Amino acid sequence: MLGFAARRMLLLPVTILGLTLLIFLFMSFLSPYELLSTYVSDPRQLQGDAAQTLIKQYGLDQPFYVKYVKWIDEVIHGKFGWSVTLNEPVSKAIMQRFPATLELAIYSIIPIILGGIWLGVTSAVHHNKFIDQMLRVFALLGYSIPSFVLGLVILFIFYGVLGWLPPGRLGVNFSMIYDSSSFYHYTGLVTIDALLNGRFWMFLDALKHLVAPVMTLSFLSWAGLLRITRSSMLEALGQDYVRTARAKGLSERVVINKHARKNALIPATTVAGLMFIGILGGVVITETIFNYPGIGSLMAQASEQLDYATVLGITLIYGLVTVIGNLAVDISYALIDPRVRLR
């Protein structure tokens, strides 16, 4: 297992190098003055002789490879530039917003995986029966409904009409407590920090604010995971080892749970891993609709204001999350199916 993981990790530096080169290639299309806006906080520094001095200072008039090396050095030291959107360093803006997106991803991926796999297995086991037909219709609806439509419908019904699930991350009163100096931020995840601070009602309030975006992401993700799991499960149920298990007199539950489902999980693992990575990268539409202060909503705000530093910084972070997440998915293959380690 260690050898398998080591072989995968050897490719990691090469992939990250290619990722940084690609991002910096996009940066090279910007003029020196536009690039300078990613380094300075005062707009007056972008004018006249002051701008020319800073362009030379940061090496923005140098050849591509020189600028790339200097940019990499800045990134390694955690300097992503200045966020015009929040008027603070990009690294600080990302560190403030990323825990919110991580919390949303954690609470979303649990119902996505459990619900999607269960629906897919149920559909395959009842192949061409009424339950299977209904679940296939459900999957088609999940693929067809845009995320912004579903999000707005959920917001309208559960907040506008019923008043149950408000947008945002916390209520006004709890937000004041969360931002106060007496509240200790251990992890940046509101639900966990609330429990560690002994604020049980704040924990419940944070959960209430998470329900609506989690519902939106889960419904949309179940459709894809259901179809992948159903196809893999149908293929597994037709294999010789399943027929042999049934011929030996094993119960149908044992055949499905211990023989067929485990072998059908590899494609579902790939899809679930990519879904988790996608949420970690910031679900722009969902976070914007529910006014959720995560990476996705920050990306939307930065794009509207042509905040190059923030957009490029979030892109780099998302790229790194994707690369590391794909590595974790590859390693999970070997944990699910030991035969993968020998290929």
Residue-level pLDDT at 78: 80
Residues 211 and 158 both lie in one domain: yes
Instruction: Establish if 6 belongs to a structural domain.
Output: no
Choose the final residue of a domain: 83, 114, 140.
83
pLDDT digits (tens, 9 = 90+) for 9-58: 777 788 888 888 888 888 777 777 777 767 766 555 566 677 777 777 77
**Are 19 and 143 contained in the same domain?**
no
Q: What whole-number distance in Å separates Cα of residue 214 and Cα of residue 191?
A: 14
Instruction: Report pLDDT for 215.
Output: 92
Of the candidate ranges 147-156, 229-238, 274-283, the one whose mean pLDDT is the lowest: 274-283
> What is the rounded average pLDDT of the residues 284-295?
89
Quick one: CA dihedral 186, 192, 197, 203, positive or negative? positive
What is the token pair recorded at 231? 């196809």
Q: Are 47 and 161 within one domain?
A: no
164: exposed, middle or buried (Cβ count in 10 Å: 0-12, 13-18, 19+): exposed
Higher pLDDT, 71 or 170: 170
Is the pLDDT assigned to residue 235 strictly greater than 60? yes
Q: Is residue 189 part of a domain?
A: no
d(CA 118, CA 197): 36
Q: Is 198 left (phi over 0), alpha (psi -120 to 50) or beta?
A: left
Which of the listed residues 83, 102, 137 is the one where a domain comes to its end?
83
Torsion of CA 134, 139, 141, 146, to 10 degrees: 160
CA-only gyration radius of the chain, Å: 24
Are both 258 and 296 inside the same structural domain?
Answer: yes
Q: Return the H-helix or E-strand segment holding 259.
A: none
Residue 13: per-residue pLDDT: 82
Q: How confident is the model at residue 277 (pLDDT cuts 50, 70, 90)?
A: confident
Residue 196: band (very low, low, confident or very high) from pLDDT cuts 50, 70, 90: very high
Domain that holds residue 30: 15-83
Q: In terms of C-beta density within 10 A (0-12 exposed, 13-18 middle, 19 or more buried), how is residue 5 classed? A: middle
Place of tokens 């990323």: 98
State residue 336's pLDDT score. 65
31 assigned to some structural domain: yes
Give the range among 18-32, 116-130, 217-231 with minimum mean pLDDT: 18-32
Token reading at 329: 């998915």
- For residue 253, being part of any structural domain is answered with yes
* Mean pLDDT for all residues in the chain: 84
Whether residues 74 and 210 share a domain: the answer is no
The angle subtended at Cα 226 by Cα 222 and Cα 228, nearest 5°, is 125
pTM of the model: 0.83
CATH number at residue 218: 1.10.3720.10
Q: What is the DSSP letter of 140?
A: H
> How large a percentage of the chain has pLDDT more than 70?
91
Q: Does any domain span residue 194?
A: no
Question: Distance (Å, rounded) from C-alpha 219 to C-alpha 23?
Answer: 33
For residue 193, being part of any structural domain is answered with no
Number of domains comprising the chain: 2
Same domain, 65 and 123: no
Q: Does residue 195 belong to any structural domain of this protein?
A: no
pLDDT at 1: 61
The per-residue DSSP string of 170-203 comes to S-HHHHHHHHSTTS--SSS-HHHHHHHTT-HHHH
Instruction: Say how far residue 304 (Cα) sits from the centre of its chain.
Output: 21
Give dist(CA 110, CA 113) in Å, integer.
6
Amino acid 337: pLDDT: 63
Q: What is the tens place of the pLDDT at every residue in 152-171?
A: 999 999 998 888 889 989 98
Contact 124, 229 (CB under 8 A): yes
Q: Is 174 exposed, middle or buried (0-12, 13-18, 19+ CB in 10 A)?
A: buried
pLDDT digits (tens, 9 = 90+) for 87-116: 888 888 888 899 999 999 999 999 998 999
Q: Which of 274, 264, 287 is nearest to 321 (CA)?
A: 274
Tell me: pLDDT of 342 over 60: no
Least confident of 81-90, 130-139, 211-220, 296-305: 81-90
| Across 118-128, average pLDDT | 89
Tell me what pLDDT residue 331 has: 74
Tell me: do 211 and 239 sit in the same domain. Answer: yes
Question: Does 93 share its domain with 79?
Answer: no
pLDDT at 103: 93
Given 62, 83, 104, the domain boundary residue is 83
**pLDDT score, position 269:** 78
pLDDT, position 343: 53
- The verdict on 45 and 139 lying in the same domain is no
- CB burial readout 63-100, b (16+ within 10 A) else e: eeeebbeebeeebeeeebbbbbbbeebbbebbeebbbb
